[in-house]
Structure 1
Amino acid sequence: MSNSHLKRLFLLKGLASRLALGLVAMLTTIAIQLYYPKALSHFIDNIDAAMASGWLSDYAVVMLVLLTLQAGAAALRYYLFESAGLLVVAKVRTLLHQSLLCQPIAFFDQHNVGEMTNRLNADTEVLHDTLTMGLAISLRSLCICIGGLIMLLSISPMLCLGLLFFIPTSMFLGRWLGQRIRLRSQAIQDCQADCGRVAHENFANARLVHAFNQWPLAQQHYQQATDKALQTSLSCTGFLAMFNGLASFLMFMALLFTLWLGGSLISQGMLTVGELTSFVIYAAMVASSAEAVSGFWSDWMRTLGATDRIFSIIDDSSVPAKVSQTPLCLQGHIVIEHLSFSYPQRPQNLALSNFNLTIQPGEKIALVGPSGAGKSTLANLLLGFYQPNSGRILLDGQPLTALNLADVRSQMAIVEQEPSLFWGSLYDNIAFAVPGGRPSQAEVEAAARQANAHDFILNFPDGYHTMVGDRGVQLSGGQKQRIAIARALLRNPRILILDEATSALDGESENLVQDALERLMAERTTIMIAHRFSTIAKADKVVVVDQGTLLEFGSHQELRRTSSFYQRLLQNQHSERQVSLCS
């Protein structure tokens, strides 16, 4: 086993006493189990003396006590190892969730949510049977195998000749199978993760699927994914079936040889019937135990294959820095110098190229430009989601890379075009702004009032305890925006990012949201990614961006007079607005 695999035993940390007690219980059951054939042999060979002396009743009482002790030890062993398995799975799931959550944003750009949730659930469950119960059963089988061999040698060394071929052969086959099953198991888990991805996409876009009558296509995609997973699983199952058939053949051949040779020894007076009976039972124990050990090896390889991806994520992750005890106090002065950036998936295409911009504390900047110009990319870099290819961002004169990112983000807030809401109450979604704490009801209500959200919240029967549904599906677009604004107000940031926060609203909702945004932007450095004239007009400075470069900047009135490109942007926005109103 490699060092990387040995490191995984850290999962058993804190379970030592539980596992040790389980081991004691297991050894107790093994000792009693190994005693049974010997007792049976003694009973068979001395049955006549037993009937004459009357010790049969005492013998039965002793066996009843041993059976009771074994039953209690077996129950205790099962509970201890099974519960240890549940604790390990819970620990792995927690670690994996933390590791996934702490991955850089680029990781989420490349991996589907359905795939990750499948890793979190199905892949971790594989550990339960193998790492604890499977390991316990294998250890028990190994002890029985060793103990059984000792008993076999004590009965008849000559009869052990047949086992000299079977046991090593079974062990070799188990190792050979394990090496080949690992890759197949990893392929199975990848296929199942793909099934999870397709299912997640279909469920997440259920409205779109129904609106376009595309449920047959969605079902077809899932059927294709499940068919591929099925074929991969069937291939692995066929491989295992072949191995099990061969192992069964070898076991019965060994039993046949033992009975033939044992019969010959009895006829020569070198062995008793009771000894042959106990030998056959011990041989069956040894054979089944050897098969269990070799089977565990293949299961262990399957587990390693299924969980390689899990532990590679855990091993490669790092816990993000926490907010410092001494809070960072930003004024909101932002300087962007010669910034160039390309997304990891498209390294050859620059999303920003030699970008330069200075934003004064409390200044309101509107970033305008066609779709794909690089406006949202700039916001992503300010939030530290990605690292630039070259250039740098300075906050209050300090490079962003030199600051604690958690401290920087504690001074920022973002309001998106489609606000991200969690399945929870309105209170929970607003209170999300305060990390590690739980704001009072009065603080949440004060933020909601400033965001023009308090009145519509009170109109719900459950008020602030109203559940918003998946991604806020129970709320209108304007209501979701005002909840997001209330969340940002409660955070009280120095730097505010508005990512087209009003572009998808009707006129009445926009007025309420704009009024809330004016309160939110007061005395804060604000970067507005905007298309609407009503938003752009509130900016102190308008920055025109196209194809990742800064074309020009100035006040809204200045650019209307001097920039033909800016005039075309406004005309296009006005035309789109008219179409929206007429539709």
Structure 2
Amino acid sequence: MMPADQNSKVQQQMFKLLWLFRWRLACGFALMVLTVIFQLALPKGLAYFIDHLNTPDIALLNRLAILMLGILVLQATAMAGRYYVFESTGYLLVHHVRKQLYQSILNKPVTFFDKHHVGELNSRLGSDVEALHDTLTMGLALFLRASLLFIGALIMMLSISLSLASVLIMLIPLSLFMAQWIGKQFRVRSEQKQDALAACGKTAQEYLSHIRLVKAFNQQSFANQRYVDANKKSLHISLKNTALFAKFQSGSLLLTFGSLLLTLWLGAGQISSGNISTGDLTSFVLYAGMLSMSASTLSDFWGEWMRTVGATSKIFNLMSDAEHSGGSQRREIDGSIQFQNLSFSYPERPEHCALQQLSFSIQPGEKVALVGPSGAGKSTVVALLMGFYQPQQGQIIFGSENLTDLDTAFLRQQIAVVEQEPSLFSGSIFENIAFAVAERDVSNAEVIKAATLACADEFIRRFPQGYQTQVGEHGAQLSGGQKQRIAIARAILRNPRVLILDEATSALDAASETLVQQALDYLMQDRTTLIIAHRFSTITRADKVLVLEQGRLVQEGRPQHLSAQQKGAFYQLMSMQLRHSAVNPI
């Protein structure tokens, strides 16, 4: 259950959203006041009409009928205007929240994505945000309208018959008690429902994004069952919510029409005693209906409001804690890197030390190979250098600055990464290469030059649509070598001071590797390069090798020097790699 203080904060955030659209809402409220005034006037006019049906002045009745018709037309016009203003404001509000939420998610630190699944975040952007639309605009409009009608109808009823109005007023506390109780239930269960929907989205996203693996292992039934189980939980919560709402609706209906029947029964006695006329009783019943329906609307809104509070609490929690920025933005970074007594554990695994007292230095323009068995800490070094995580002990010096003192965006402008499996978006080849530069628009000439230097221009031009060729999801329409060369073109366009090559050629055939290596040789010129590699042929291109084991630096030196140390970790790693490749040991 949501704590009371958090509940209050969520509601404050919701009112802040409304304040952004205060002028549109004020316009809608003015139109609503007109509709309420017209609605309250109609029963009084009808009472006068009924009580003067036997009058010989037909012209008066005609004028009265025309007046009432005119009021109806004005009410209908004002109602249409009110509906448009509030409904359109709802869409504007949802657009604003969705934009802010997506931007907030993008600016979250990497540790956030270690804990939250993409499917869950999609659900928050979708159904959770949509819950704000009806409640914060049309729902609020109905609440305000019901409040005005409730007050207006009560005043009119008191002016017609104090005794009859007193009986109905006694039923109001019961209606408010029902609304308060049901609101608490809705808030808790709505939060549970949104969590269940997020779990469904998470499961679907996970298996659909790995559909080739699912099909390769014939696991469609397993994937389907996982989604069915998640969906069944969501269904169970939805059915419980529906049953609760049905009971509430039944109680509200009984209270509403029961009060109207009581009014008619007591009113009949009042007519017999001559205290009120038939027209007055008719108008009183209409006002009583307005009062009862308004009370029911107020109760419904309170339940809906608390449902929305529960459903959107996660949204406002997500719209905070952006990634660190605002540090130093030096104009020049020479590319030197130092790790000084650095120790690090991942936030989700604090008991396991990924790096232990790691120290090394890389000079500007130096090519350094980072080698070691799986789990040695190579990828962790890269993650820390990119500013994805902060070390618990020690520091990283980038240029002459402590990495934690640098602006995150500025730091990453200085670095480019070429991965073993390049990350490509489902847009065009041009868009994937131009993705390297976030600060400005990139010209066609710049993209073509980068692709040419990456040995990619030739194969790109062979496509019918050239640089506008759609690469498909994750670049599925391209070969491994083509994807690598596009990733290299992207890195060339970025023009970084530091280059990170993460197994950039390990998954390629000989022909593709030759072309990719040619592109990499150009890319590495005059740049500090950190190479994560297992291939001996790749490692020998490095100026220096750092050998890691269990998060510790166990060897450091030139590849030729380390190759001669037969008892060293590097020699053992390379011997094993060469044996697996059916090549003679070192």
**Cα deviation, residue 327, structure 1:** 5.4
Alignment partner of 1:462 is 2:465: yes
Q: Percent identity?
A: 51
**CA deviation profile, 1:470-516 (whole Å, cap 9, x unmatched):** 11111111111111110000010011111111121111111111111
Are residues 563 and 166 of structure 1, via their aligned partners in 2, closer, same or farther at CA, if it must alter by over 3 Å? farther
Q: Which residue identity does 1:508 align to in structure 2?
A: A
SS where residue 48 of structure 1 aligns? coil
**Against the structure 1 CA distance between its residues 323 and 503, is the aligned structure 2 distance closer, same or farther, given a 3 Å change threshold?**
farther
- State the partner residue of 2:229: 224
Choose from 236, 240, 249 the match for 1:244: 249
Map of 1:156 onto structure 2: 161
In structure 2, what is the equivalent of residue 321 of structure 1? 325
Q: TM-score under structure 2 normalisation?
A: 0.96
Which residue pairs with 1:570 in the alignment? Answer: 574
Q: In 1, distance between residues paired with 2:294 and 2:580?
A: 75
After TM superposition, the structure 1 = structure 2 runs for residues 45-444 of structure 1, keeping only pairs within 5 Å, are 45-49=51-55, 52-314=57-319, 316-318=320-322, 321=325, 328-444=331-447
Q: Secondary structure at the match of 2:553?
A: strand
Aligned to 1:23: 29
Q: How far apart are the structure 1 equivalents of 2:231 and 2:148?
A: 41
CA contact (8 A) 1:99 1:319 kept: no
Of residues 27, 30, 44, the one that matches 1:38 is: 44
* CA distance in structure 2 between the partners assigned to 1:165 and 1:40 by the alignment: 27
In 2, are the aligned partners of 1:413 and 1:493 still within 8 Å (CA)? Answer: yes
- Report the AA paired with residue 549 of structure 1: R
| C-alpha distance in structure 2 between counterparts of 1:395 and 1:54, whole Å | 93
Q: Deviations over 1:224-246 (max 9, x none)?
A: 01100000111111111111111
Asked if the contact 1:331/1:361 (under 8 Å) is kept, the reply is yes
- Please point out which of 16, 40, 44 is paired with 1:10: 16
Query: In the alignment, what sits opposite 1:448?
Result: 451
Cα distance between partner residues in 1 of 2:180 and 2:550 = 58
Any idea what SS the aligned residue of 2:54 has? helix
Query: Is the contact between residue 367 and residue 527 of structure 1 (CA under 8 Å) also seen in structure 2?
Result: yes
What does residue range 549-560 of structure 1 map to in structure 2 within 5 Å? 549-560=552-563
- Give the CA deviation at 1:461: 0.6
* Matched-pair contact (CA < 8 Å) for 1:34–1:144: yes
Partners of 2:264 and 2:382 in 1: how far apart? 80
Structure 1: runs of 5+ lacking an equivalent = none
Distance 2:127 2:409 in 1: 32
- Residue 60 of structure 1 and its aligned partner are, at CA, apart by 2.1
User: CA offsets per residue over residues 178-225 of structure 1, 9 Å max, x none?
Assistant: 112111000000000000011111211111111211111111111101
Whole-angstrom CA distance in 2 between matches of 1:117 and 1:237: 25
Q: Cα gap change, 1:513/1:42 in structure 2, threshold over 3 Å: closer, same or farther?
A: same
Deviation at 1:468, TM superposition (A): 1.0
Structure 1 residues 94 and 79, CA gap change in structure 2 (3 angstroms): same
1:515 alignment counterpart: 518
**Do 2:327 and 2:405's aligned partners in 1 also have CA atoms closer than 8 Å?**
no
Partner of 1:540: 543
Q: Cα gap change, 1:483/1:158 in structure 2, threshold over 3 Å: closer, same or farther?
A: same
Secondary structure of the 1:528 match is strand
Shift in Å, 1:322: 6.8
**Amino acid paired to 1:390:** Q
Alignment deviations for residues 297-325 of structure 1 (CA, whole Å, 9 cap, x no partner) = 111110010000000111x233653798x
Q: CA RMSD in A?
A: 1.5
- Give 3-state SS (helix, strand or coil) of 1:2's partner: helix
The CA deviation string for residues 242-268 of structure 1, in whole angstroms up to 9 with x for no partner, is 111112112222122111111111111
Preserved contact between residue 502 and residue 532 of structure 2 (Cα < 8 Å): yes
Alpha-carbon distance in structure 2 between the residues aligned to 1:4 and 1:77: 27
Judged with a 3 Å threshold, the aligned counterparts in structure 2 of structure 1 residues 98 and 459 are, in CA distance, closer, same or farther, namely same
The whole-number CA distance in structure 2 between the counterparts of 1:309 and 1:282 is: 41
Structure 2 residue matching 1:269: 3-state secondary structure: coil
State how far apart, in whole Å, the 1-side matches of 2:351 and 2:327 are: 35
Q: 1:144 to 1:576 in 2, by over 3 A?
A: farther
Q: Does 1:491 align with 2:497?
A: no
**Which stretches in structure 2 are left out of the alignment for 5+ residues?**
1-6
8 Å contact kept, 2:49–2:61: no
Q: Secondary structure at the match of 2:338?
A: strand
- Structure 2 CA distance for partners of 1:407 and 1:300, relative to 1, 3 Å: same
Residue type at the aligned position of 1:83: S
Task: State the distance in 1 between where 2:119 and 2:383 align.
Answer: 24
Q: Displacement of 1:53 after TM fit?
A: 3.4
Q: Is the 8 A contact 1:166 1:251 kept in 2?
A: no
Is the partner of 2:564 in helix, strand or coil?
A: helix
Query: Alignment length, in residue pairs?
Result: 576
Query: Hey, what's the Cα distance between the residues in 2 that align with 1:13 and 1:432?
Result: 37
**Contact 2:45–2:68, Cα closer than 8 Å, also in 1:** no
Partner SS, residue 171 of structure 2: helix
Q: Secondary structure at the match of 1:338?
A: strand
**Alpha-carbon contact 2:18-2:136 (below 8 Å) kept:** no
The ranges of structure 1 where at least 4 consecutive aligned residues each deviate by more than 6 angstroms after the TM superposition are: none
Distance 1:563 1:547, change over 3 A: farther
Counterpart contact for 1:416–1:498, Cα < 8 Å = yes
Aligned equivalents of 2:251, 2:321: Cα separation in 1 = 43
Distance 1:259 1:494, change over 3 A: same
Mapped partners of 1:437, 1:578: distance in 2 = 49
CA contact under 8 A between 2:13 and 2:316: conserved in structure 1?
no
1:341 and 1:498 mapped to 2: Cα distance?
Answer: 22
Distance (whole Å) between structure 1 residues aligned to residue 306 and residue 532 of structure 2: 52
Query: In 2, distance between residues paired with 1:40 and 1:120?
Result: 49
Do 1:322 and 1:407's aligned partners in 2 also have CA atoms closer than 8 Å?
Answer: no
